[in-house]
Chains A and B, each alone.
Chain A
Amino acid sequence: MADERFQVIVIGAGVAGSAAAYRLAKAGREVLLIDRGKAPGAKNMTGGRLYTYALKALLPDEWQEAPFEREVTREMMMMMTPQSSIAIDSTFSVKNQLSYTVLRAKLDAWLAAKAEEAGAMLVPASTVDGLMLKEGKVCGVRIGDEELEADLVISAEGVNPLVFERAGIIKPVENSNVALGIKHVFRLPEAVINDRFNTGSDQGVAILCAGECTKGISGGAFLYTNKDSISLGLVVDSLSWKNSKLPIADIAEALKQHPAIGRYIEGGELVEYSAHLIPEGGIAALPQLYGNGFMVAGDAAGFVVNSGLTVRGMDYAILSGIAAAETAEEAINSGNYSRTALKSYEDRLKQSVLKDMETFKNAHDYMAHTQHVFTTYPMLAANLMESIYHVDGSPSKRVLGTVREAVAGKIPYFNVFKDMLKGARSL
């Protein structure tokens, strides 16, 4: 006999879980939101940047109160060789509030509090140990000896969905479908950040790097300015890294020492060193998204799109949380929690998350198998830049000649052409 009974139990108070719980609580439903962290956000990490449109959809009147760090108004792309770098810089004059840098300890605590205010019951510091199943239907969760019953269970348990994997409900996550993210947060006075990045107090920079930072392994580095700190991190394909046999913690440390990066974090005090996995398998790696008595949302469902130049997960997590809540509403109203009844979850996702995942279905493969993007091209670009501006009185060449010289012997022209063509079709 179960100790308690709820209409919906949500596992995980990240942005997907809290979004779902908020929507359901607002609609007057009895919803239990369980998180394994001492407080929501304590176990979560992002690069990170949040694209705001999804939060606007969830909280049209309150989204601007979210604990944002800085609005991203300057985007930079950088290519790195061991000693050099070249970057494409930009400044956008329009303040359109499309994306903000965020830190999860603050953001998740805020969003979970919204769900609680709306009437959801939040239980932190509790790790779900297993599911209750009856006649092939998920009907609750187990925490230690305690059993909690529900008409519906939403898994928003994150990138390592142990509960649903172990219940044999979704296929296990594979090494080949995740990337490993490692992040340093350096504290620096707000005014120093403003000066160093030429920004106003509420505005900031996002830098995306490729090349030497990952030792040529598929992945990249990122730098985001927060209010009074800088997030500097590394993302690498987990399987490619395993095959490379390089020491990951040392490479993460080496990133700080690169001359192109070191100047930005100089004088900063390390306040946190974190790591997290990122689902990157794309649409081909999706698990079962719904079934009798359950739905899967956010990272647990693998809802991340890496387009090569942007990595988006939190916005899709929020959208999928909303979609799960809307579907749950329908199911509760009809009293039908079967797989057939929950199919409309997929229909909702097809209008947003799944549509983008379909568009970028080849991006992960392209990035993982086009090694030159992470090795040869950054080298070529930096060498080319260096030779163009290296004037020492020796006979000059026209730019095309310099390009030919830079490329010569490093990579066949035809391969460059092939990579460009494939890239244009995948990214």
Chain B
Amino acid sequence: MKSLSIDDRLAKNRFDSDDHNPHIIVDKNACKTCNHRACTYSCPAERYKWDTVNDLLSFDHVGCLECGNCRLVCERLKQGIDGYSWDYPSFGKGIIFREG
């Protein structure tokens, strides 16, 4: 079976994305001090990547599957400290599972 990149896999899904209001907020600069960066390998949609050129986290909420795993592997998201918050999208935005 052909291997699919994460973008190819996500492209099969239906999203009604709220491009301008991210439901998850992270402080990319503050993330530099994180010692595990679990978000970069625990997100099934690979929305968190470590940009090694700029030594900075890159995050895109569009394509998020809303599983909530990042909220639990990241202490800062979990506690909702300054610069970090995790919410579900409003008004039915975000992932729309057609199979589920």
Which residues of A does B touch, CB under 8 Å? 36-38, 41-46, 103-108, 124-127, 144, 159-160, 162, 172-175, 178, 180, 182, 184-185, 229, 231, 238, 241-242, 245-249, 252-253, 256-257, 262, 265-266, 268, 270-277
Contacts and interface: CB of A to CB of B under 8 A. Distances in A.
B90 A275 contact: no
A245 B39 CA distance: 10
B31 interface: no
B72 to A, nearest CB: 4
Contact of A277 (B68, B94, B96): B68
A266 B41 CA distance: 27
B88 A36 contact: yes
B10 interface: yes
Contact of B66 (A43, A104, A126, A144): A43
Contact of A159 (B38, B65, B68): B68
A167 to B, nearest CB: 14
Nearest to B89: A127
Nearest to B69: A180
B14 to A, nearest CB: 8
Nearest to B5: A253
4 A-B pairs closest in CB distance: A125-B92, A104-B100, A38-B92, A275-B44
Nearest to A262: B1
A175 B72 contact: yes
A270 B99 CA distance: 11
Contact of A43 (B9, B36, B95): B95
B97 A272 contact: yes
Contacts of A160: 68, 71, 88
Interface of B: 1, 3-4, 6, 9-10, 12-13, 16, 36, 38, 41-46, 65-69, 71-73, 78, 86-92, 94-100
B42 A125 contact: no
Nearest to A270: B12
A363 to B, nearest CB: 21
B92 A42 contact: yes
Nearest to B80: A166
Contacts of A106: 100
A16 to B, nearest CB: 15
Contacts of B72: 173-175, 178, 238, 277
B9 to A, nearest CB: 4
A256 B1 CA distance: 7
Contacts of A38: 16, 92, 96
Given A175-B72, A274-B65, A277-B72, 19 more contacts: A42-B92, A42-B95, A43-B66, A43-B88, A104-B100, A173-B72, A175-B73, A229-B99, A238-B73, A245-B41, A248-B41, A257-B3, A270-B9, A271-B99, A273-B10, A274-B95, A275-B45, A276-B65, A277-B68
